[in-house]
């Protein structure tokens, strides 16, 4: 592998960054770092009609949160800047003109009305209209291939709208190599003459990305499968300019969890999961889209999940640190077929990462949630709570529901559990238990458990007759960690208060 690996992530700032785009950025990042290369961010904003003002910053913020920051890009190490295509506008016209001069491109003055009429005419005959070798020089189309040089110049001088089209070679078998998909062959006669430069003075993606990739010395183009049909044109453009083409790798689609097709925002809205890394507010409509960060996902769990959507290490290992992903990543192990997104698997990854976080780190994340609820407890107590409940949590946001009884006295009791476990004679039994607990001096979990169980054994009654009502009294439901750990943490006074409350209310 070359020592000067340079890859780029080139999103369009037309809205929030879909997780498919994040995965493309991730694979580029992993590949670059594996070979000590450079990860470039380029903003491809040639489509001004769809430009969204806050989208570029969103993209940058998302990459930062994912911990896959770019090495070069807008306002950062601008070695080959500028990195916004709108700021490179004049550059593309120069290269379009080069293709005109060398015969690889031509001016086309056809109006949209003329082209629509030709399409409808072909459709009426059961044919498909393609602007290419078949008809570009037959006289029905208005372009510089059939006009004289003077006629072309006259039209340009008169301000007539035109585009510049690529002149696709005729009767060639184009052989290409994709790092993921292997050998690809295309008959150039099936290709159309794509527009390279538009009437609004802006290049199309096809021209701009080729020129930029060459000038920015990109060695590998790793991008989504949707660009695979454009690969022949891009390879031909490199040939037309006399440049060495980078290696291409087209990533598989991320598929819907249910049904067929590409994962969309609509799927997330319908099934209740985010498809964007960060929460996004549409400035025009005010609509807010959910984000993985705000939904409580750890960034490293999110990245680990994304890495497995289309790639596998060839082993049973599923939990990878970013450093391990870099070491293991290989384009040869990226799948050709689409990867089905699983909301449940995504939650599983987050739960796995929850267990790898230190209790102290999770405590710091839980404290603001408690503060919002007006609860002040010393950090040591909260840390003990986190230690007791974190194994049952998927998100830090789950901590409150799993632990509220550590901070507040229950005021309600689960109806189904109460009916089943609080029976005739239970109140008297709990009153006796109050006396037992009142006399316990060493209120550690171990000792309290020992003395209460000795009392139950001496009374020759089933443990369930005491333990279930006791848990119901302390927690309000039949849930929570080890019962005597709860007792030790809330203390004797609170334990007795809760037992008395349960006797009165149940």
DSSP E strands in 337-403: the ranges are 339-340
DSSP notation for 118-172 = HHHHHHHTT-----STTTTTSSSS-BTTTS-HHHHHHHHHTT---EEEE-PPSS-
- DSSP-assigned beta bridge partners for residue 40: 8, 72
- DSSP-assigned beta bridge partners for residue 280: 289
The three-class DSSP label of residue 400 is helix
- Pick the closest to residue 465 from 496, 430, 436 (CA basis): 430
311-317 long-range contacts (CB < 8 A, ≥24 apart) are 311/27, 311/335
DSSP notation for 253-295 = PEEPSSSSSB--HHHHHHHT--SBSS-EE-TTT--EE-BTTTT
Residue 232 CA to residue 100 CA, distance in Å, equals: 19
Residue 37 CA to residue 30 CA, distance in Å, equals: 10
Residue 221 CA to residue 283 CA, distance in Å, equals: 32
Structure-block tokens of residue 468: 């279930």
Residue 330 CA to residue 23 CA, distance in Å, equals: 14
Phi first, then psi: what are they for 315, rounded to 5°?
-130, 180
Residue 214 CA to residue 318 CA, distance in Å, equals: 37
Residue pair 178/331 in contact (Cβ under 8 Å)? The answer is no
Angle between the N-to-C axes of helices 445-459 and 426-438, in degrees from 0 to 180, rounded to the nearest 10: 130
Residue pair 505/418 in contact (Cβ under 8 Å)? The answer is no
The three-class DSSP label of residue 7 is strand
Active site residue 379: no
Residue pair 186/192 in contact (Cβ under 8 Å)? The answer is no
Structure-block tokens of residue 286: 């005010």
Residue 248 CA to residue 234 CA, distance in Å, equals: 10
Catalytic residue, chosen from 93, 155, 265, 377, is 265
Residue 297 CA to residue 78 CA, distance in Å, equals: 32
Structure-block tokens of residue 98: 């080069």
Residue 334 CA to residue 406 CA, distance in Å, equals: 47
Tell me 245's DSSP state.
P
Residue pair 247/23 in contact (Cβ under 8 Å)? The answer is no
Pairing of strands 163-166, 195-197: antiparallel
The three-class DSSP label of residue 201 is coil
- DSSP-assigned beta bridge partners for residue 289: 280
Residues with a known catalytic role? 265
């Amino acid at each position: 592998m070359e020592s000067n690996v340079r890859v780029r992530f080139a999103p369009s700032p037309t809205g929030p960054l879909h997780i498919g785009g994040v995965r493309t950025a991730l694979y580029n990042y992993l590949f670059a770092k594996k070979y000590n290369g450079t990860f470039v961010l380029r903003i491809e904003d040639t489509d001004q009609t769809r430009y969204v003002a806050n989208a570029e910053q969103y993209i940058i913020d998302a990459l930062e949160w994912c911990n896959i920051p770019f090495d070069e890009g807008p306002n950062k190490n601008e070695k080959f800047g500028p990195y916004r295509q709108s700021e490179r506008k004049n550059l593309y016209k120069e290269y379009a003109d080069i293709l005109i001069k060398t015969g690889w491109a031509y001016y086309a003055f056809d109006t949209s009305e003329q082209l629509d009429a030709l399409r409808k005419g072909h459709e009426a005959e059961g044919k498909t209209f393609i602007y290419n070798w078949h008809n570009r020089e037959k006289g029905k189309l208005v372009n510089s291939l059939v006009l004289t040089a003077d006629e072309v110049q006259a039209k340009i001088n008169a301000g007539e709208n035109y585009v510049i089209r690529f002149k696709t070679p005729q009767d060639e078998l184009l052989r290409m190599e994709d790092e993921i998909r292997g050998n690809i062959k295309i008959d150039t006669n099936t290709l159309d003459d794509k527009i390279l430069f538009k009437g609004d003075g802006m290049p199309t993606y096809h021209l701009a990305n080729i020129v930029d990739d060459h000038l920015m010395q990109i060695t590998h183009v790793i991008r989504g499968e949707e660009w695979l049909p454009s690969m022949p044109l891009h390879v031909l453009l490199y040939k037309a300019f006399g440049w060495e083409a980078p290696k291409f790798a087209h990533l598989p689609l991320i598929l819907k969890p249910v049904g067929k097709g590409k994962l969309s925002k609509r799927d997330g809205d319908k099934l209740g999961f985010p498809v964007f890394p960060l929460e996004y507010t549409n400035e025009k409509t005010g609509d807010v889209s959910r984000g993985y960060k705000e939904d409580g996902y750890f960034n490293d769990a999110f990245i680990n999940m994304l890495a497995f959507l289309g790639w596998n290490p060839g082993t049973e290992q599923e939990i990878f640190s970013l450093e391990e992903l870099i070491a293991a990543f290989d384009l040869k192990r990226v799948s050709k077929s689409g990867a089905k997104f699983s909301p449940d698997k995504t939650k599983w990854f987050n739960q796995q990462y929850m267990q790898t976080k230190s209790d102290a780190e999770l405590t710091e994340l839980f404290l603001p949630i408690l503060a919002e609820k007006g609860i002040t407890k010393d950090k040591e107590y909260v840390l003990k709570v986190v230690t007791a409940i974190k194994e049952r949590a998927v998100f830090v946001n789950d901590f409150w529901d799993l632990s509220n009884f550590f901070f507040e006295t229950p005021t309600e009791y689960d109806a189904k559990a109460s009916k089943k476990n609080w029976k005739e004679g239970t109140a008297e039994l709990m009153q006796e238990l109050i006396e037992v607990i009142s006399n316990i001096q060493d209120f550690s979990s171990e000792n309290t458990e020992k003395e209460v169980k000795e009392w139950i054994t001496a009374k020759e009654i089933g443990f369930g007759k005491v333990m279930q009502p006791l848990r119901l009294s302390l927690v309000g439901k039949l849930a929570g960690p080890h019962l005597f750990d709860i007792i030790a943490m809330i203390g004797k006074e609170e334990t007795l208060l809760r037992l008395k409350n349960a006797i009165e209310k149940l």
